[in-house]
Amino acid sequence: MPDPDRARRAPSPIASWTLRVGTAAALGIDAAVHALNASAYDAVGTTVTQGQLFRVEAGVAIAVGLLVLLRPRPSSWVAAWLVAASALAAVLLYRYVDVGSIGPLPDMYENTWQVPGKVLSAYAEGAAVVLAGLGLFVHRGGAYAPGRGFL
């Protein structure tokens, strides 16, 4: 059965594209910094290296950025928010806390902001968190409905 209020809840095309492009651009900056710096961290770790984690982060950020551009649904916005928030949490955690290695994950403690691109990446991740949160709010027209799940 069609939802008569759905058209009223739909975001304006300008707002939608602004949030989509902004989120994808912020995730793209995050991906570029991680991809460019990955080789410098290939020696950090044994089973899993920090360079490998950087490459995975870059790939996931690109994929989710494209997902938000091409399919702006609540699940896409949640994925973008999770990727950006986890990346921002990781850079802040490993900047200020020496966690040590955790299982196969290497010790990624780096108590400086002087690494090329690190500050830019952190700002981009923060922007992506905010933009993806706004995108989820604005695109709530596909909200959860019992029996239908997220649209």
pLDDT in tens, 39-64: 999 998 888 999 999 999 999 999 99
Q: Is the pLDDT of residue 134 over 70?
A: yes
What pLDDT does 64 receive?
Answer: 98
What pLDDT does 1 receive?
Answer: 54
What pLDDT does 49 receive?
Answer: 92
Q: How confident is the model at residue 79 (pLDDT cuts 50, 70, 90)?
A: very high
Long-range Cβ pairs for the range 96-104 (8 Å, 24+): 101/45, 104/45, 104/46, 104/47, 104/48
Region 17-28: what's the mean pLDDT? 97
Enumerate the H helices of the chain as residue ranges.
Answer: 6-9, 13-37, 50-70, 74-96, 118-138
In the chain, what percentage of residues exceed pLDDT 90?
75
Lowest mean pLDDT among 68-72, 85-89, 138-142: 138-142
What pLDDT does 10 receive?
Answer: 66
Q: 99 near 143, Cβ under 8 Å?
A: no
| pLDDT, averaged across the chain | 88
Question: Which residue's entry shows tokens 């040590």?
Answer: 100
